[in-house]
Chains A and B, each alone.
Chain A
Amino acid sequence: MLQIISTAIPARPADIGEALRLMGEGWGAIFVVILIIMFTIFMLNRLYVFSIYLSKRFFRGKSK
Protein backbone atom coordinates (compact mmCIF):
# COMPACT_ATOMS: atom_id res chain seq x y z
CA MET A 1 0.00 0.00 0.00
CA LEU A 2 2.71 2.43 0.90
CA GLN A 3 5.64 2.53 -1.42
CA ILE A 4 9.01 2.84 0.23
CA ILE A 5 10.98 5.40 -1.64
CA SER A 6 14.51 5.59 -0.36
CA THR A 7 14.98 9.27 -0.98
CA ALA A 8 16.45 11.70 1.49
CA ILE A 9 13.84 13.55 3.55
CA PRO A 10 14.00 17.26 2.69
CA ALA A 11 15.41 19.39 5.51
CA ARG A 12 12.56 21.89 5.55
CA PRO A 13 9.18 22.22 7.22
CA ALA A 14 6.23 20.70 5.38
CA ASP A 15 3.89 23.33 3.95
CA ILE A 16 0.24 23.36 5.03
CA GLY A 17 -0.89 21.35 2.03
CA GLU A 18 1.74 18.67 2.55
CA ALA A 19 1.06 18.47 6.29
CA LEU A 20 -2.68 18.11 5.68
CA ARG A 21 -2.01 15.43 3.08
CA LEU A 22 0.15 13.46 5.51
CA MET A 23 -2.54 13.85 8.17
CA GLY A 24 -5.21 12.45 5.88
CA GLU A 25 -3.08 9.70 4.37
CA GLY A 26 -1.61 8.62 7.70
CA TRP A 27 -4.85 8.47 9.65
CA GLY A 28 -6.64 6.89 6.70
CA ALA A 29 -3.91 4.27 6.24
CA ILE A 30 -4.16 3.22 9.90
CA PHE A 31 -7.92 2.69 9.49
CA VAL A 32 -7.30 0.55 6.40
CA VAL A 33 -4.69 -1.64 8.14
CA ILE A 34 -6.84 -1.96 11.28
CA LEU A 35 -9.94 -2.84 9.22
CA ILE A 36 -7.97 -5.59 7.49
CA ILE A 37 -6.81 -6.92 10.86
CA MET A 38 -10.41 -6.73 12.16
CA PHE A 39 -11.66 -8.66 9.15
CA THR A 40 -8.99 -11.31 9.70
CA ILE A 41 -9.97 -11.75 13.34
CA PHE A 42 -13.64 -12.05 12.32
CA MET A 43 -12.66 -14.74 9.85
CA LEU A 44 -10.60 -16.57 12.49
CA ASN A 45 -13.55 -16.50 14.91
CA ARG A 46 -15.91 -17.72 12.16
CA LEU A 47 -13.51 -20.50 11.26
CA TYR A 48 -13.46 -21.58 14.90
CA VAL A 49 -17.24 -21.68 15.06
CA PHE A 50 -17.34 -23.58 11.77
CA SER A 51 -14.75 -26.09 12.99
CA ILE A 52 -16.84 -26.73 16.11
CA TYR A 53 -19.88 -27.23 13.92
CA LEU A 54 -17.98 -29.69 11.71
CA SER A 55 -16.52 -31.62 14.62
CA LYS A 56 -19.94 -31.89 16.28
CA ARG A 57 -21.47 -33.14 13.09
CA PHE A 58 -18.65 -35.62 12.55
CA PHE A 59 -18.88 -36.84 16.14
CA ARG A 60 -22.65 -37.22 15.95
CA GLY A 61 -22.35 -39.21 12.75
CA LYS A 62 -19.85 -41.56 14.37
CA SER A 63 -21.96 -42.21 17.47
CA LYS A 64 -24.88 -43.23 15.32
Chain B
Amino acid sequence: MSALFDSCKLLFSGDNYLMILMWLIGGVLIYLAIGKDMEPSLLLPIGFGAIMMNLPGADLSVLKTLYDGGIANELFPLLLFIGIGAMIDFGPLLSNPKLMIFGAAAQFGIFFTFFLASIFGFDIIDAASIAIIGAADGPTSIVVATQLGSRYIGAITVAAYSYMALVPLVQPPIVKLLTSKKERLIRMPYEPKDIPRTTRILFPVIITVITGIFAPKAVALVGFLMFGNLIRECGVLNSLSETAQKILANLITLLLGLTIAVNMGAQDFLQPATLLIMGLGLVAFIFDTAGGVMVAKFINLFLPNGKKLNPMIGAAGISAFPMSSRVIHKMGLKEDRENFLLMHTVGVNVSGQIASVIAGGLILSLVHLF
Protein backbone atom coordinates (compact mmCIF):
# COMPACT_ATOMS: atom_id res chain seq x y z
CA MET B 1 0.00 0.00 0.00
CA SER B 2 2.80 2.39 0.89
CA ALA B 3 4.43 1.64 -2.48
CA LEU B 4 1.19 2.79 -4.11
CA PHE B 5 1.27 6.09 -2.24
CA ASP B 6 4.97 6.49 -3.03
CA SER B 7 4.16 6.35 -6.78
CA CYS B 8 1.49 9.02 -6.29
CA LYS B 9 3.90 11.20 -4.36
CA LEU B 10 6.38 10.88 -7.19
CA LEU B 11 4.00 12.86 -9.42
CA PHE B 12 4.14 15.89 -7.14
CA SER B 13 7.85 15.81 -6.40
CA GLY B 14 10.31 18.11 -8.11
CA ASP B 15 9.29 19.23 -11.58
CA ASN B 16 7.11 16.18 -12.14
CA TYR B 17 3.94 18.30 -11.94
CA LEU B 18 4.85 19.45 -15.44
CA MET B 19 3.90 15.98 -16.58
CA ILE B 20 0.25 16.82 -15.87
CA LEU B 21 0.56 19.64 -18.40
CA MET B 22 1.86 17.10 -20.91
CA TRP B 23 -1.22 14.93 -20.25
CA LEU B 24 -3.30 17.93 -21.24
CA ILE B 25 -1.24 18.45 -24.38
CA GLY B 26 -1.59 14.75 -25.18
CA GLY B 27 -5.33 15.06 -24.56
CA VAL B 28 -5.57 18.05 -26.89
CA LEU B 29 -3.75 16.12 -29.64
CA ILE B 30 -6.11 13.16 -29.18
CA TYR B 31 -9.10 15.55 -29.27
CA LEU B 32 -7.84 17.19 -32.48
CA ALA B 33 -7.36 13.75 -34.02
CA ILE B 34 -10.77 12.36 -33.06
CA GLY B 35 -12.94 15.45 -32.67
CA LYS B 36 -11.56 17.52 -35.52
CA ASP B 37 -10.25 14.74 -37.79
CA MET B 38 -6.84 16.45 -38.01
CA GLU B 39 -4.17 13.96 -39.22
CA PRO B 40 -5.72 11.36 -36.86
CA SER B 41 -3.33 8.60 -37.87
CA LEU B 42 -0.42 10.63 -36.48
CA LEU B 43 -1.80 12.99 -33.88
CA LEU B 44 -3.66 10.26 -32.00
CA PRO B 45 -0.62 8.00 -31.41
CA ILE B 46 1.55 11.06 -30.70
CA GLY B 47 -0.99 12.31 -28.15
CA PHE B 48 -1.31 8.93 -26.46
CA GLY B 49 2.46 8.47 -26.52
CA ALA B 50 2.90 11.90 -24.91
CA ILE B 51 0.68 10.81 -22.01
CA MET B 52 2.52 7.50 -21.66
CA MET B 53 5.90 9.23 -21.68
CA ASN B 54 4.89 11.48 -18.83
CA LEU B 55 3.97 8.95 -16.18
CA PRO B 56 6.52 9.21 -13.37
CA GLY B 57 8.54 6.07 -12.83
CA ALA B 58 6.93 4.26 -15.78
CA ASP B 59 9.18 1.72 -17.48
CA LEU B 60 9.04 2.58 -21.16
CA SER B 61 12.20 0.88 -22.33
CA VAL B 62 10.17 -0.69 -25.13
CA LEU B 63 9.43 2.76 -26.60
CA LYS B 64 13.11 3.66 -26.31
CA THR B 65 13.99 0.42 -28.12
CA LEU B 66 11.51 1.29 -30.87
CA TYR B 67 12.95 4.81 -31.06
CA ASP B 68 16.53 3.57 -31.39
CA GLY B 69 15.57 0.94 -33.93
CA GLY B 70 13.10 2.99 -35.96
CA ILE B 71 13.63 6.72 -35.68
CA ALA B 72 17.19 7.33 -34.50
CA ASN B 73 18.39 5.39 -37.55
CA GLU B 74 15.64 6.94 -39.78
CA LEU B 75 14.19 3.54 -40.65
CA PHE B 76 10.49 4.31 -39.99
CA PRO B 77 10.24 7.57 -41.97
CA LEU B 78 12.11 6.06 -44.90
CA LEU B 79 9.91 2.95 -44.93
CA LEU B 80 6.88 5.24 -44.78
CA PHE B 81 8.17 6.90 -47.95
CA ILE B 82 7.81 3.58 -49.81
CA GLY B 83 4.12 3.65 -48.93
CA ILE B 84 3.75 7.32 -49.89
CA GLY B 85 5.54 6.73 -53.20
CA ALA B 86 3.20 3.83 -53.94
CA MET B 87 0.20 6.09 -53.29
CA ILE B 88 1.24 8.91 -55.64
CA ASP B 89 0.18 9.08 -59.26
CA PHE B 90 2.67 11.30 -61.06
CA GLY B 91 0.51 11.30 -64.21
CA PRO B 92 -0.72 14.93 -63.96
CA LEU B 93 2.88 16.06 -63.47
CA LEU B 94 4.23 13.98 -66.36
CA SER B 95 1.60 15.38 -68.70
CA ASN B 96 2.50 18.96 -67.77
CA PRO B 97 6.06 19.04 -66.40
CA LYS B 98 6.15 22.86 -66.49
CA LEU B 99 4.16 22.77 -63.26
CA MET B 100 7.20 21.41 -61.44
CA ILE B 101 8.59 24.90 -61.13
CA PHE B 102 5.98 25.65 -58.45
CA GLY B 103 7.17 22.68 -56.43
CA ALA B 104 10.53 24.42 -56.20
CA ALA B 105 9.00 27.86 -55.64
CA ALA B 106 6.90 26.72 -52.70
CA GLN B 107 9.94 25.57 -50.74
CA PHE B 108 10.83 29.21 -50.07
CA GLY B 109 9.37 28.98 -46.56
CA ILE B 110 12.02 26.43 -45.56
CA PHE B 111 14.90 28.75 -46.32
CA PHE B 112 13.20 31.88 -45.02
CA THR B 113 12.49 30.06 -41.76
CA PHE B 114 16.15 29.07 -41.47
CA PHE B 115 17.00 32.75 -41.76
CA LEU B 116 14.40 33.70 -39.15
CA ALA B 117 15.34 30.90 -36.73
CA SER B 118 18.97 32.01 -36.95
CA ILE B 119 17.94 35.55 -36.05
CA PHE B 120 16.05 34.15 -33.04
CA GLY B 121 19.30 32.59 -31.85
CA PHE B 122 18.80 28.91 -32.70
CA ASP B 123 22.10 27.27 -33.57
CA ILE B 124 22.66 26.07 -37.13
CA ILE B 125 21.53 22.47 -36.43
CA ASP B 126 18.31 23.48 -34.72
CA ALA B 127 17.55 26.30 -37.20
CA ALA B 128 17.91 23.86 -40.11
CA SER B 129 15.76 21.26 -38.35
CA ILE B 130 13.05 23.83 -37.56
CA ALA B 131 13.18 25.21 -41.11
CA ILE B 132 12.38 21.81 -42.56
CA ILE B 133 8.91 22.00 -40.97
CA GLY B 134 8.28 24.03 -44.13
CA ALA B 135 8.76 20.88 -46.18
CA ALA B 136 5.19 20.15 -45.04
CA ASP B 137 6.19 16.54 -44.96
CA GLY B 138 6.42 14.72 -41.63
CA PRO B 139 8.88 11.96 -42.57
CA THR B 140 11.29 14.48 -44.15
CA SER B 141 11.16 16.62 -41.00
CA ILE B 142 11.91 13.60 -38.83
CA VAL B 143 14.78 12.40 -41.03
CA VAL B 144 16.45 15.83 -41.21
CA ALA B 145 16.02 16.60 -37.50
CA THR B 146 17.28 13.13 -36.55
CA GLN B 147 20.23 13.20 -38.88
CA LEU B 148 21.27 16.62 -37.65
CA GLY B 149 20.73 15.57 -34.03
CA SER B 150 18.33 18.38 -33.10
CA ARG B 151 17.20 18.68 -29.50
CA TYR B 152 13.71 19.70 -30.60
CA ILE B 153 12.65 16.72 -32.70
CA GLY B 154 9.46 16.24 -30.64
CA ALA B 155 8.28 19.83 -31.10
CA ILE B 156 9.33 19.83 -34.76
CA THR B 157 7.32 16.67 -35.50
CA VAL B 158 4.24 17.93 -33.70
CA ALA B 159 4.49 21.27 -35.54
CA ALA B 160 4.99 19.60 -38.94
CA TYR B 161 1.99 17.30 -38.60
CA SER B 162 -0.23 19.91 -36.97
CA TYR B 163 0.29 22.49 -39.71
CA MET B 164 -0.17 19.84 -42.40
CA ALA B 165 -3.56 19.22 -40.89
CA LEU B 166 -4.19 22.97 -40.73
CA VAL B 167 -3.45 23.62 -44.42
CA PRO B 168 -7.16 24.34 -45.11
CA LEU B 169 -6.98 27.13 -42.53
CA VAL B 170 -3.47 28.44 -43.23
CA GLN B 171 -3.39 28.64 -47.02
CA PRO B 172 -6.64 30.31 -48.15
CA PRO B 173 -6.11 33.68 -46.37
CA ILE B 174 -2.54 33.94 -47.69
CA VAL B 175 -3.60 33.09 -51.24
CA LYS B 176 -6.44 35.63 -51.06
CA LEU B 177 -4.12 38.28 -49.70
CA LEU B 178 -1.65 37.83 -52.54
CA THR B 179 -4.04 37.49 -55.48
CA SER B 180 -6.71 39.69 -56.98
CA LYS B 181 -10.24 38.49 -57.72
CA LYS B 182 -9.40 38.72 -61.45
CA GLU B 183 -6.38 36.45 -61.00
CA ARG B 184 -8.35 33.90 -58.99
CA LEU B 185 -10.88 33.71 -61.82
CA ILE B 186 -8.31 32.74 -64.45
CA ARG B 187 -9.36 29.47 -66.05
CA MET B 188 -6.82 26.86 -67.01
CA PRO B 189 -8.14 24.21 -69.37
CA TYR B 190 -6.70 20.76 -68.76
CA GLU B 191 -5.50 18.80 -71.74
CA PRO B 192 -4.97 15.20 -70.65
CA LYS B 193 -2.11 13.44 -72.38
CA ASP B 194 -1.36 9.79 -72.75
CA ILE B 195 1.56 8.94 -70.52
CA PRO B 196 3.27 5.80 -71.81
CA ARG B 197 4.03 3.08 -69.31
CA THR B 198 7.73 3.32 -70.17
CA THR B 199 7.78 6.99 -69.10
CA ARG B 200 5.98 6.16 -65.86
CA ILE B 201 8.53 3.42 -65.13
CA LEU B 202 11.56 5.47 -66.13
CA PHE B 203 10.44 8.53 -64.16
CA PRO B 204 11.21 7.22 -60.63
CA VAL B 205 14.53 5.79 -61.77
CA ILE B 206 15.59 9.03 -63.47
CA ILE B 207 14.54 11.20 -60.53
CA THR B 208 16.60 9.04 -58.18
CA VAL B 209 19.66 9.22 -60.42
CA ILE B 210 19.40 13.00 -60.92
CA THR B 211 18.95 13.54 -57.19
CA GLY B 212 21.89 11.25 -56.49
CA ILE B 213 24.10 13.31 -58.76
CA PHE B 214 23.01 16.78 -57.66
CA ALA B 215 21.86 16.35 -54.07
CA PRO B 216 23.41 13.11 -52.78
CA LYS B 217 22.17 13.66 -49.23
CA ALA B 218 18.60 13.38 -50.50
CA VAL B 219 19.10 9.99 -52.16
CA ALA B 220 17.74 7.93 -49.27
CA LEU B 221 14.61 10.10 -49.05
CA VAL B 222 13.99 10.36 -52.79
CA GLY B 223 15.12 6.79 -53.45
CA PHE B 224 12.60 5.23 -51.04
CA LEU B 225 9.82 7.50 -52.34
CA MET B 226 10.60 6.64 -55.93
CA PHE B 227 11.03 2.93 -55.17
CA GLY B 228 7.47 2.94 -53.83
CA ASN B 229 6.33 4.65 -57.03
CA LEU B 230 8.21 2.16 -59.20
CA ILE B 231 6.42 -0.71 -57.43
CA ARG B 232 3.14 1.03 -58.28
CA GLU B 233 3.92 1.77 -61.90
CA CYS B 234 5.78 -1.36 -62.97
CA GLY B 235 2.50 -3.24 -63.24
CA VAL B 236 3.90 -6.60 -62.13
CA LEU B 237 3.96 -6.01 -58.37
CA ASN B 238 0.38 -5.04 -57.72
CA SER B 239 0.08 -6.94 -54.46
CA LEU B 240 3.35 -5.41 -53.17
CA SER B 241 2.10 -1.98 -54.22
CA GLU B 242 -1.14 -2.49 -52.32
CA THR B 243 0.74 -3.75 -49.28
CA ALA B 244 3.03 -0.70 -49.36
CA GLN B 245 0.09 1.69 -49.74
CA LYS B 246 -2.02 0.20 -46.99
CA ILE B 247 -0.42 -2.27 -44.59
CA LEU B 248 3.15 -0.94 -44.61
CA ALA B 249 2.10 2.73 -44.49
CA ASN B 250 -0.45 2.09 -41.71
CA LEU B 251 1.88 -0.02 -39.61
CA ILE B 252 4.77 2.42 -39.85
CA THR B 253 2.48 5.40 -39.19
CA LEU B 254 1.20 3.68 -36.05
CA LEU B 255 4.68 2.97 -34.70
CA LEU B 256 6.08 6.33 -35.85
CA GLY B 257 3.46 8.33 -33.96
CA LEU B 258 3.82 6.37 -30.76
CA THR B 259 7.61 6.33 -30.89
CA ILE B 260 8.07 10.00 -31.67
CA ALA B 261 6.54 10.69 -28.26
CA VAL B 262 9.82 9.53 -26.72
CA ASN B 263 10.92 13.12 -27.34
CA MET B 264 7.91 14.55 -25.58
CA GLY B 265 9.05 14.26 -21.99
CA ALA B 266 7.85 17.29 -19.99
CA GLN B 267 11.37 18.57 -19.33
CA ASP B 268 12.28 18.57 -23.04
CA PHE B 269 8.97 19.66 -24.47
CA LEU B 270 7.75 22.34 -22.08
CA GLN B 271 10.22 25.05 -22.98
CA PRO B 272 9.72 28.54 -24.41
CA ALA B 273 11.56 27.24 -27.49
CA THR B 274 8.66 24.88 -28.24
CA LEU B 275 6.26 27.82 -28.61
CA LEU B 276 8.78 29.60 -30.80
CA ILE B 277 9.15 26.48 -32.95
CA MET B 278 5.38 26.28 -33.38
CA GLY B 279 5.40 29.94 -34.47
CA LEU B 280 8.29 29.41 -36.87
CA GLY B 281 6.51 26.38 -38.32
CA LEU B 282 3.54 28.58 -39.13
CA VAL B 283 5.86 31.14 -40.74
CA ALA B 284 7.37 28.36 -42.87
CA PHE B 285 3.94 27.30 -44.16
CA ILE B 286 2.93 30.91 -44.84
CA PHE B 287 6.07 31.70 -46.81
CA ASP B 288 5.91 28.40 -48.71
CA THR B 289 2.44 29.40 -49.88
CA ALA B 290 3.57 32.94 -50.67
CA GLY B 291 6.62 31.66 -52.60
CA GLY B 292 4.47 29.49 -54.86
CA VAL B 293 1.89 32.19 -55.53
CA MET B 294 4.43 34.95 -56.15
CA VAL B 295 6.46 32.87 -58.63
CA ALA B 296 3.22 32.08 -60.51
CA LYS B 297 2.43 35.82 -60.63
CA PHE B 298 5.97 36.52 -61.83
CA ILE B 299 5.67 33.94 -64.64
CA ASN B 300 2.34 35.50 -65.63
CA LEU B 301 4.18 38.75 -66.42
CA PHE B 302 5.73 36.99 -69.42
CA LEU B 303 2.70 35.04 -70.61
CA PRO B 304 0.23 36.40 -73.19
CA ASN B 305 -3.44 36.91 -72.32
CA GLY B 306 -5.34 33.66 -72.62
CA LYS B 307 -2.28 31.65 -71.59
CA LYS B 308 -1.93 33.09 -68.11
CA LEU B 309 -1.79 30.81 -65.10
CA ASN B 310 -4.12 30.99 -62.17
CA PRO B 311 -1.56 32.02 -59.52
CA MET B 312 -3.45 30.11 -56.84
CA ILE B 313 -2.02 26.83 -58.20
CA GLY B 314 1.45 27.94 -57.05
CA ALA B 315 0.31 27.53 -53.46
CA ALA B 316 -0.25 23.80 -54.05
CA GLY B 317 3.52 23.44 -54.44
CA ILE B 318 3.63 23.01 -50.68
CA SER B 319 4.12 19.32 -50.12
CA ALA B 320 1.12 18.54 -47.88
CA PHE B 321 -0.29 15.96 -50.30
CA PRO B 322 -3.13 15.74 -51.27
CA MET B 323 -4.62 18.28 -48.85
CA SER B 324 -3.14 21.36 -50.51
CA SER B 325 -4.28 20.45 -54.02
CA ARG B 326 -7.84 19.96 -52.76
CA VAL B 327 -7.81 23.23 -50.83
CA ILE B 328 -6.67 25.27 -53.84
CA HIS B 329 -9.09 23.45 -56.15
CA LYS B 330 -11.95 24.28 -53.79
CA MET B 331 -10.83 27.93 -53.66
CA GLY B 332 -11.01 28.03 -57.44
CA LEU B 333 -14.51 26.54 -57.39
CA LYS B 334 -15.59 29.04 -54.77
CA GLU B 335 -14.63 31.90 -57.10
CA ASP B 336 -16.05 30.31 -60.23
CA ARG B 337 -18.14 27.16 -60.12
CA GLU B 338 -16.85 26.07 -63.51
CA ASN B 339 -13.15 26.61 -62.86
CA PHE B 340 -11.71 23.13 -62.36
CA LEU B 341 -8.11 23.45 -61.26
CA LEU B 342 -7.80 20.03 -59.66
CA MET B 343 -5.56 18.32 -62.22
CA HIS B 344 -3.21 21.31 -62.25
CA THR B 345 -3.09 21.53 -58.46
CA VAL B 346 -2.46 17.79 -58.17
CA GLY B 347 0.44 18.12 -60.62
CA VAL B 348 1.89 21.01 -58.64
CA ASN B 349 1.28 19.21 -55.36
CA VAL B 350 3.14 16.03 -56.34
CA SER B 351 6.02 18.12 -57.64
CA GLY B 352 6.01 19.80 -54.22
CA GLN B 353 6.37 16.34 -52.70
CA ILE B 354 9.50 15.70 -54.77
CA ALA B 355 10.89 19.20 -54.22
CA SER B 356 10.37 19.07 -50.46
CA VAL B 357 12.31 15.83 -50.19
CA ILE B 358 15.11 17.29 -52.31
CA ALA B 359 15.02 20.40 -50.09
CA GLY B 360 15.55 18.14 -47.07
CA GLY B 361 18.64 16.68 -48.70
CA LEU B 362 19.91 20.10 -49.72
CA ILE B 363 19.52 21.42 -46.18
CA LEU B 364 21.53 18.44 -44.91
CA SER B 365 24.28 19.27 -47.41
CA LEU B 366 24.22 23.03 -46.97
CA VAL B 367 24.61 23.06 -43.19
CA HIS B 368 27.94 21.31 -43.66
CA LEU B 369 29.21 24.27 -45.68
CA PHE B 370 29.32 26.57 -42.63
Q: Which residues of A contact B (CB under 8 A)?
A: 1-7, 9-16, 18-20, 22-27, 29-38, 40-42, 44-45, 48
The 6 closest A-B pairs by CB, nearest first: A41-B97, A23-B111, A34-B104, A19-B118, A14-B118, A19-B115
Q: Which residues 192-217 of B sit at the A interface, judged by CB distance below 8 A? A: 193, 196, 198-199, 202-203, 206-207, 210-211, 213-217
Interface of B, helix, strand, loop or mixed by DSSP: helix
Contact, CB under 8 Å: B101 / A34: yes
C-alpha spacing A1/B121, complex, angstroms: 29
- Kindly identify which residue among A11, A29, A42 contacts B123, using a CB–CB cutoff of 8 Å: A11
User: Measured between C-beta atoms, what is the minimum distance from A16 to chain B in Å?
Assistant: 7
Which residues from A are CB-within-8-Å of B112? 23
Which residues from B are CB-within-8-Å of A37? 97, 100, 206-207, 210, 354
Contact, CB under 8 Å: B368 / A34: no
Complex: chain A residue closest to B194, CB-CB: A48
Contact, CB under 8 Å: B368 / A29: no
User: Measured between C-beta atoms, what is the minimum distance from B97 to chain A in Å?
Assistant: 4
Complex: chain A residue closest to B207, CB-CB: A37
Which residues from A are CB-within-8-Å of B125? 9, 11
Contact, CB under 8 Å: B369 / A12: no
Give the contact-size bracket for chain B. Answer: 35 or more
- Kindly identify which residue among A5, A19, A40 contacts B206, using a CB–CB cutoff of 8 Å: A40
Which residues from A are CB-within-8-Å of B365? 2, 4
Contact, CB under 8 Å: B359 / A6: no
Which residues from B are CB-within-8-Å of A15? 118
Q: Decide: A30 near B359, CB < 8 A? Known: A4-B365, A9-B368, A18-B370.
A: yes
- Kindly identify which residue among A9, A13, A22, A40 contacts B111, using a CB–CB cutoff of 8 Å: A22
Mind listing 13 A-B residue pairs with CB under 8 Å? Answer: A4-B216, A11-B123, A14-B114, A19-B118, A22-B114, A22-B115, A26-B110, A27-B108, A34-B100, A41-B93, A45-B97, A48-B198, A48-B199
Contact, CB under 8 Å: A31 / B148: no
Q: Decide: A33 near B369, CB < 8 A? Known: A23-B111, A40-B206, A48-B199.
A: no
C-alpha spacing A3/B369, complex, angstroms: 8
Contact, CB under 8 Å: A48 / B196: yes
C-alpha spacing A1/B336, complex, angstroms: 44
Q: Decide: A9 near B370, CB < 8 A? Known: A26-B363, A38-B100.
A: yes
Contact, CB under 8 Å: A5 / B94: no
Which residues from A are CB-within-8-Å of B355? 30, 34
Q: Decide: A30 near B362, CB < 8 A? Known: A37-B100, A37-B210.
A: yes
User: Measured between C-beta atoms, what is the minimum distance from B136 to chain A in Å?
Assistant: 14
User: Measured between C-beta atoms, what is the minimum distance from B315 to chain A in Å?
Assistant: 17
- Kindly identify which residue among B100, B107, B203 contacts A44, using a CB–CB cutoff of 8 Å: B203
Q: Decide: A34 near B351, CB < 8 A? Known: A12-B123, A16-B119.
A: yes
User: Measured between C-beta atoms, what is the minimum distance from B140 to chain A in Å?
Assistant: 13
User: Measured between C-beta atoms, what is the minimum distance from B155 to chain A in Å?
Assistant: 18
Contact, CB under 8 Å: B368 / A6: yes
Complex: chain B residue closest to A10, CB-CB: B370
Q: Decide: A29 near B362, CB < 8 A? Known: A13-B122, A14-B124, A19-B119.
A: yes
Which residues from B are CB-within-8-Å of A3? 369
Which residues from B are CB-within-8-Å of A4? 216-217, 365, 368
Contact, CB under 8 Å: A23 / B104: no
Residue of B199, B367, B368 contacting most chain A CB atoms (<10 Å):
B368
User: Measured between C-beta atoms, what is the minimum distance from A58 to chain B in Å?
Assistant: 17
Which residues from B are CB-within-8-Å of A32? 214
Mask: chain B, 105-143; 1 = CB below 8 Å from A; 0 = not: 101101110110011011111010000000000000000
C-alpha spacing A15/B117, complex, angstroms: 11
B276 contacts chain A at the CB level, 8 A cutoff: no
User: Measured between C-beta atoms, what is the minimum distance from B190 to chain A in Å?
Assistant: 16
C-alpha spacing A31/B362, complex, angstroms: 12
